[in-house]
């Protein structure tokens, strides 16, 4: 290889350029089919009304910005999801506690079975 330094330099420069060109071509083909940025701009984000009445709402948790998260008591369904340690059990416990205190009928489905231990009456 040292006998042909020009060939070595060409190989070292051309191969990375070809790899980058190939990746950009694939990305261009995908963007031609579906432009993610354009589609995300078209999505209309739903504005949620803030729950101001603490008496007719349930405290679910606190956001990273230290703001309270509340749901109205007349909510028909609540879906709680998140990663490990995000506070799903705490949110559900707060909701169950509020429902028991206000004597609301509830159906709670807990596949793991650890939520009901605290509220068994």
pLDDT, one tens digit per residue, over 32-63 is 666 667 777 777 766 666 777 778 888 887 88
DSSP 104: -
pLDDT value of position 38: 73
DSSP 119: T
Average pLDDT value for the chain: 77
Count CA within 13 A, CB hemisphere, residue 117.
5
Q: Could you tell me if 91 and 108 are in contact, meaning their C-beta atoms sit under 8 angstroms apart?
A: no
Is residue 14's pLDDT more than 80?
A: yes
The string of pLDDT tens digits covering residues 55-88 is: 888 888 788 888 888 888 877 777 888 888 888 8
Q: Taking 80 as the threshold, does the pLDDT of residue 19 lie above it?
A: yes
Q: Residue 120: its pLDDT value, please?
A: 55
Provide φ and ψ at 47, rounded to 5°.
-90, 125
Nearest CA to 95 out of 52, 60, 47 is that of: 60
Q: In the 8-state DSSP scheme, what is residue 95?
A: H
pLDDT at 32: 65
């Amino acid at each position: 290889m040292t006998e042909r330094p020009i060939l070595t330099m060409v190989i070292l420069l051309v191969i990375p350029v070809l790899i980058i060109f190939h990746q950009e071509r694939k990305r261009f083909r995908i963007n031609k089919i579906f432009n993610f940025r354009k589609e995300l701009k078209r999505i209309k984000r739903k504005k949620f009304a803030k729950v101001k009445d603490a008496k007719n709402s349930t405290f679910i948790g606190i956001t990273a910005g230290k703001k309270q998260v509340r749901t109205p008591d007349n909510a028909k369904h609540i879906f709680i999801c998140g990663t490990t340690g995000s506070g799903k059990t705490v949110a559900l416990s707060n909701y169950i506690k509020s429902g028991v205190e206000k004597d609301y009928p509830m159906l709670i489905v807990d596949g793991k079975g650890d939520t009901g231990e605290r509220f068994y009456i």
